[in-house]
Amino acid sequence: MTHPNYETLLNYTENKLGPVEKTEVDKHLSLPCPVCKNKVAQLHTIFNMTAKDKTVAPPANVLSRAIAIHRKQKNTLPHPILRALATLQFDSRLQLSAMASRGAARTHQMLYTAQHVDIDLKITPEHGEHSLVGQVLADEKTDDLSTAFVTLQNKTGGMLQGVETDSFGQFAFRQVPSGIYDLVFDLGAQEVSINSLELSND
């Protein structure tokens, strides 16, 4: 049995078929074909509902103005960026170590965590300034982490240095003066921030 296609049934419901095609559809619908009968019944229901709809289409100039306003608002709205605050999980200065107590360990190591990422930091004093080396690591829930853009900012939000991580998530800032900084990681869909990172020669 060959069923009429949807376009044919639509034209049949709207009485737009020629006599020959209409006769063929009538003959098919007189057969026990619940699928096509159901489609025709649904089309009749839709047309009856639309016939009762008294909604008036807006004038063309009103419609074009509404579209223009919508496009303008869409372009001016800022892209929503979520910023997560990383939390400190490990700080080598807080660990009781015989070597650290004797001053043998100069590198300060920290581990921060945020949603779906861990951030490993190593701060080393160098000639009165500091070397800040780190790595962004994806957690177990994230199979892959694309490169991130890392910025070193002062407390007013001004960017002092910026660098992109390599394919291993590694980054480095050299010759950073002592001070208190914010480290911000742009991961695309979200930002992760390490606030009030203190670099000192103590």
Q: Tell me the per-residue pLDDT of 66-92, one tens digit each, with 9 for 90 and over.
A: 877 777 765 544 555 678 899 999 998
State the Cα–Cα distance between residues 133 and 100, nearest whole angstrom.
20
pLDDT at 140: 65
Q: Is the pLDDT of residue 101 over 60?
A: no
Q: Is the pLDDT of residue 29 over 90?
A: no
- Binned at pLDDT 50, 70 and 90, residue 198 comes out as very high
Model confidence, pTM: 0.56
Tokens of 71: 């496009």
More confident position, 44 or 144: 44
Domains of the chain (ranges; CATH) run 6-76 (no CATH), 82-199 (2.60.40)
Give which of 136, 114, 133, 134 is closest to 125, Cα–Cα. Answer: 133
Give which of 167, 164, 109, 108 is closest to 137, Cα–Cα. Answer: 167
